[in-house]
Amino acid sequence: MEQNVGENGRLPQEEIEAEERFDVTKQVSYGRLIYLRFLRNHAAVVAAFALVFIYLITLACPFFAPYDPNTRFLEKVAHPPLLPAFIDGEGQFHLRPFVFATVQSRDPKTMERIYAQDTGRRFPLRLFVRGDEYDFLFWHSDLHLFGAQDSPVFLLGTDTQGRDLFSRILFGGRISTTVGLIGVAISLVLGIVVGMASGYLGGAVDAVIQRGIEVLLSFPSLPLWMALSLSLPRHWSSIRIFLLITILLSIVGWGGLARVVRGMTLAVKSEEFVLASRMGGGGTWWILLRHILPTNLSYVIVAATLAVPGIILGETALSFLGLGIQPPMISWGVLLQDAQKVSFLSQMPWLIAPAFFIMATVLAFNFIGDGLRDALDPYSNF
Partner 1 sequence: MKTYILQRFIQMIIVMVVVMLVSFIIVELPPGDFLTTLREQLTEQNVDPKVIDSTVEMYRARYGLGENWFIRFGKWAWSLMKGDMGYSMQHNRPASELMGERLSLTIWISIATLIFMFVVAVPIGMLSAIKQYSAWDHSFTFLALLGVSVPSFITALVFLLLSVTLLGATTVAGLFSPEYVTAEWSWAKFVDMLKHVWIILFIVGLGDTAGTIRVMRARMLDTLGEPYIDTARMKGLSGAKVYFRHALRVAINPIISSIGLRFPQIISGSTIVAIVLTLPLIGPLLLDALLGEDVYLACSILVVLTLALVIGNFLADLALAWLDPRIRFEN
Partner 2 sequence: MNSAPDSEKVLDIRNLQVSFRSIAGATRAVNGVSLDVRSGEIVGLVGESGCGKSVTIRSIVGLVPSPPALFEDGEIWLRTRRGMTETLSLHKNTKALRQIRGRDVSMIFQEPMRSVHPMMTIGKQITEGILEHEVVDPAEAYDRTVEMLDLVGLPNPAAQMNRYAHELSGGMRQRALIALALVCHPQLLLADEPTTALDVTIQAQILELIRDLRDRMRMSVLLITHNMGVVANLADRISVMYLGRIMETGTVEEIFKEPAHPYTHGLLASMPSLFSQPKTRLQSLRGVVPELAMVPKGCVFADRCPHVMPKCDETPPVIELRSDHSAACWLYADVGEPRGAPAVADQPSLPGDRPPLDSPPRVETIPLAGSEPAADTARAAPAGSEVAQLQIESVALHYPILRGLLRRQVGTVRAVDGVDLTIRRGETLGLVGESGCGKTSVGRLVARLVEPTAGHIRFGAGGGLEEITHISQKEMKRVRRSMGMVFQDPLSSLNARMNIRNIVGEPLMLHQLAKGRAVDDRVGELLEMVGLRAAHQSRFPHAFSGGQRQRIAIARALATEPSFLVADEPVSALDVSVQAQILNLLLTLQQQLNLSMLFIAHDIAVVRHVSDRIAVMYLGKIVELGEARAICVRPVHPYTEALLASIPLPMPGLETLREMPKGDLPDPANPPAGCRFHTRCPYSQPVCEREEPPLRPLAGDADHFGACHFQDELQLQGVEEIGELGASQ
Cα angle 95, 100, 106 (rounded to 5 degrees) comes to: 165
- Helix 42-59 to helix 30-40 angle, to the nearest 10 degrees? 100
For position 267 contacting partner 1 by CB under 8 A, the verdict is no
- Name the residue nearer to partner 2 (CB basis): 24 or 111: 24
Instruction: Figure out which of the listed residues 28, 52, 208, 227 binds partner 1, where binding follows CB under 8 A.
Output: 227
Nearest distance in Å: CB 79, partner 1: 18
Assess whether the previous peptide bond of 328 is cis (omega < 30° from 0): yes
Instruction: Figure out which of the listed residues 280, 285, 342, 343 binds partner 2, where binding follows CB under 8 A.
Output: 280
Instruction: Figure out which of the listed residues 15, 75, 133, 142 binds partner 2, where binding follows CB under 8 A.
Output: 15
Environment class of 169 (CB within 10 Å of its CB; exposed 0-12, middle 13-18, buried 19+): buried
Task: Name the percent of the chain in helix, strand, coil, to the closest 5.
Answer: 60, 15, 25
- Name the residue nearer to partner 1 (CB basis): 13 or 340: 340
For position 50 contacting partner 1 by CB under 8 A, the verdict is no
Nearest distance in Å: CB 320, partner 1: 6
- 52 binding partner (options partner 1, partner 2, none; Cβ < 5 to 8 Å by kind): none
Identify which range of 79-87, 113-121, 235-243, 271-279 contacts partner 2 by CB under 8 A.
Answer: 271-279
- Name the residue nearer to partner 2 (CB basis): 186 or 196: 196
Handedness of CA 153, 155, 323, 189 (dihedral sign): negative
The phi and psi torsions of 273 (rounded to 5 degrees) equal -70, -25
Q: Are strands 85-87 and 93-106 parallel, antiparallel or unpaired?
A: antiparallel
For position 60 contacting partner 1 by CB under 8 A, the verdict is no
Whole-angstrom distance, CA of residue 304 vs CA of residue 260? 10
Instruction: Figure out which of the listed residues 74, 127, 230, 279 binds partner 2, where binding follows CB under 8 A.
Output: 279
**Contact criterion met (CB below 8 Å) for 306 and 47:** no
Helix (H, G, I), strand (E, B) or coil at 143: strand
For position 18 contacting partner 1 by CB under 8 A, the verdict is no
Report H helices in 23-152. 30-40, 42-59, 61-64
Whole-angstrom distance, CA of residue 285 vs CA of residue 197? 11
Nearest distance in Å: CB 35, partner 1: 22
For position 215 contacting partner 2 by CB under 8 A, the verdict is no
CB neighbours of residue 146 within 10 Å? 17
For position 201 contacting partner 1 by CB under 8 A, the verdict is no
Instruction: Figure out which of the listed residues 267, 345, 374, 376 binds partner 1, where binding follows CB under 8 A.
Output: 345
Residue type at 192 in one-letter notation: I
For position 313 contacting partner 1 by CB under 8 A, the verdict is yes
For position 218 contacting partner 1 by CB under 8 A, the verdict is yes
Instruction: Figure out which of the listed residues 192, 245, 317, 375 binds partner 1, where binding follows CB under 8 A.
Output: 317
Residue type at 261 in one-letter notation: V
**For residues 30-59, which are near partner 2 according to CB under 8 A?**
30-31, 33
- Name the residue nearer to partner 2 (CB basis): 66 or 371: 371
**Contact criterion met (CB below 8 Å) for 138 and 300:** no
Contacts of 229 (CB under 8 A, 6+ apart): 245, 248, 318, 323, 324
Nearest distance in Å: CB 301, partner 1: 19
Identify which range of 103-111, 217-225, 264-272, 292-300 contacts partner 1 by CB under 8 A.
Answer: 217-225
Which residues in this chain contact partner 2 in the complex, by CB under 8 A?
1-2, 5, 7-12, 14-16, 18-31, 33, 207, 271-273, 275-283, 286, 291, 294-295, 378-379, 381
- List interacting residues with partner 1 (CB under 8 A): 211, 214-215, 217-224, 226-231, 233, 309, 313, 316-317, 320-323, 336, 339-340, 342, 345-346, 349, 352, 355, 358-359, 362-363, 366-367, 370
